[in-house]
Amino acid sequence: MASVSEMYDVTWEEMRDKLRKWREDNHRNSEQIVDVGEELINEHASKLGDDIWIIYEQVMIAALDCSRDDLAWTCLQELKRQFPGSQRVKRLAGMRLEALEKYEDASKQYDSILQDDPTNTAARKRKISILKAQGKSAEAIRELNEYLEQFVGDQEAWHELSELYINEHDYGKAAFCLEELMMTNPHNHLYCEQYAEVKYTQGGLENLELSRKYFAQALKLNNRNMRALFGLYMSASHIAASPKVNATVKKANVKYATWATNQINRAYQGNVTNRVPGC
Amino acid sequence: MAEPELLLDSNIRLWVVLPIVFITFLVGVIRHYVSILLQSDKKLTLEQVSDSQVLIRSRILRENGKYIPKQSFLMRKFYFNNQEDGFFKNTKRKVVPPSPMTDPSMLTDMMKGNVTNVLPMILIGGWINWTFSGFVTTKVPFPLTLRFKPMLQQGIELLSLDASWVSSASWYFLNVFGLRSMYSLILGQDNGADQSRIMQEQMSGAAMAMPADTNKAFKAEWEALELTDHQWALENIEEELMSRELDLDGMFNSKH
């Protein structure tokens, strides 16, 4: 098997920088991380200096994702040796137990972390993900709600909660979570678009109007959001087709729908061979 | 003042001015690392973390509430400010002002602060004064009155000497404050060698008690939230959006 550095002709510094970039951008390309990281650890450990510890952590999590228990175990041992009694390492040990589906032991591990440090958010979140992995979504929702009562500012948690609610078809509560995210990230077009989709799914004239507005907002934030453009068209035409609206509203919505159609045509003009990417 | 300029021996420059700069700088760096070693862990309680996040959420609601529908904004405002069971109205935290005497961790912190900062300054200042005494070190570029003479010219007993000529001790103090920006460059912001910042903190630190602050902070947020109105940013969004064509340049290129 050719090594990564041979295949792509990169030096160890470039590999290390690539790992850092993946770490900072929170990429989940676990197989690549395992390949690159394993080679760095095996061949160039001495040159990495103190960087090696965070690389161990990153590679360990990626290894758990790829079912590489051997690699995960080695990384964990190294980290345990260097940082005995560290909360962060304990959390990694718990994650390994989770990957082996030993949920009881993992739960105990996280409980011990929480005993030492009740403010540790990572351990709490891992416990909730255990519940999710076991398929106990009602309990997961309840726990996540309690968690969010304490830590109102955790955006990752709000997003997770909105996803759980959508799976349970509780669109009202999902909309609430997305509103929190929209407030904290007013320039993120994706939250606006997801909110609009939830409102569209809820249905009803008011919600359709709201969804149309938020699709428009997503488009304003990012002119190229095709999904929002299609959403705008659909919500506008839905409202126009509804029997309950008066003439002015109908006319306005027909205008919006026509505008949306024009924009869609413009976008796909001259690109007949390109398929629409996953809309 | 058209006085004849004093010409100082260039040895003074070599053996006094530069060594004092080096000494001050190295002492500062050592102080920084010592303060890191002696740093005590600040343990926050769950309540403190939770409260700070709630305050942030309320602030965000005030600032960015215009991006969510009116109904949602009112719902949240009601949750916080309601007369009977609003969060800000109801939650009272226990007020324990951490005076230095009752709170042992604050006491040790203060002591450590003093030891790492004030003590070395006094010691080194005194040593420099003793070692490099009896001559003039440098001249400050602006004229000073005679009142400054005993302070800045320790050890030089010349009545007629212009107060602008100062001794090595004052050069040392000048360095202590002047090298602050160097420390920020080399040690990064918020370093332990930054003495004037620490002194400022000590003066205002006694007044900053966290628990009492929480109640007051809640009250301030309550008032601010009461005053906030909801101006929906999406009122005319369709008109704004459709006033011009979408920017779809190069969207489906192969490189996209």
Q: Which of A119-128, B32-41, B102-111, B214-223 has the lowest average pLDDT?
A: B102-111
Chain B hits for A267, Cβ within 8 Å? 246, 248, 251-252
* Structure confidence by residue, pLDDT tens digits, A197-218: 999 999 889 999 999 999 999 9
* Per-residue pLDDT, A212: 93
Outline where A134-170 has alpha helix (H): 137-150, 155-167
Residue A185 CA, chain-centre distance (Å), reads: 15
Among A105-109, A271-275, B132-136, name the most confident range: A105-109
Looking at the predicted structure, is the pLDDT value of residue B198 above 60? no
Residue A103 CA, chain-centre distance (Å), reads: 23
Mean pLDDT for B249-255 is 65
ipTM of the shown complex = 0.80
* Structure confidence by residue, pLDDT tens digits, B71-97: 899 988 888 887 766 777 766 766 555
* Structure confidence by residue, pLDDT tens digits, A163-195: 999 999 999 999 999 999 999 999 999 999 999
- Size (chain B), residues: 256
Chain B hits for A151, Cβ within 8 Å? 49-50, 53
User: Among all residues of chain A, which has the CA nearest to that of B245?
Assistant: A263
Residue among A176, A214, A274 minimizing CB distance to B252: A274
Cα-only R_g, chain B: 30
User: Among all residues of chain B, which has the CA nearest to that of A176?
Assistant: B72
Looking at the predicted structure, is the pLDDT value of residue A265 above 50? yes
Looking at the predicted structure, is the pLDDT value of residue A273 above 50? no
Which tokens sit at B8?
């100082």
Q: Which residues of B touch A (CB under 8 A)?
A: 44-46, 49-50, 53-54, 56-57, 60-61, 64-65, 67-69, 72, 233-234, 237-238, 240-242, 245-248, 251-252
* Structure confidence by residue, pLDDT tens digits, A8-42: 788 888 888 989 999 998 888 999 999 999 888 88
* Structure confidence by residue, pLDDT tens digits, A102-145: 999 999 999 999 998 888 889 999 999 999 999 999 999 999 99
Neighbours of A268 (CB within 10 A): 15
* Structure confidence by residue, pLDDT tens digits, A70-99: 999 999 999 999 999 889 999 999 999 999
Q: What percentage of residues in chain B have a pLDDT greater than 70?
A: 73
> Which has more confidence, B26 or A171?
A171
Q: How far is Cα B118 from Cα A278, in angstroms, rounded to an integer?
A: 66
Looking at the predicted structure, is the pLDDT value of residue A250 above 80? yes
* Structure confidence by residue, pLDDT tens digits, A46-77: 888 888 899 999 999 999 999 999 999 999 99
Inter-helix orientation angle B18-38/B180-187, to 10°: 50
Chain A hits for B61, Cβ within 8 Å? 183
What band does B214 get if pLDDT is binned at 50, 70 and 90? confident
Q: What percentage of residues in chain B have a pLDDT greater than 90?
A: 0
* Per-residue pLDDT, B234: 86
What band does B254 get if pLDDT is binned at 50, 70 and 90? low
* Straight-line distance from the first to the last Cα atom of chain A, in angstroms, rounded to the nearest whole number: 39
Q: Which amino acid, residue B171?
A: W
Chain B hits for A180, Cβ within 8 Å? 57
3-state secondary structure of A54: helix
What band does B27 get if pLDDT is binned at 50, 70 and 90? confident
What band does B145 get if pLDDT is binned at 50, 70 and 90? confident
Backbone φ and ψ of B139, nearest 5°: -125, 130
Chain A hits for B251, Cβ within 8 Å? 224, 267
Q: How far is Cα B11 from Cα B14, in angstroms, rounded to an integer?
A: 5
Residue among B72, B237, B240 minimizing CB distance to A179: B72
Looking at the predicted structure, is the pLDDT value of residue B36 above 50? yes
* Per-residue pLDDT, A192: 93
Q: How far is CA A34 from CA A224, B98, B177, in A?
A: 34, 50, 50
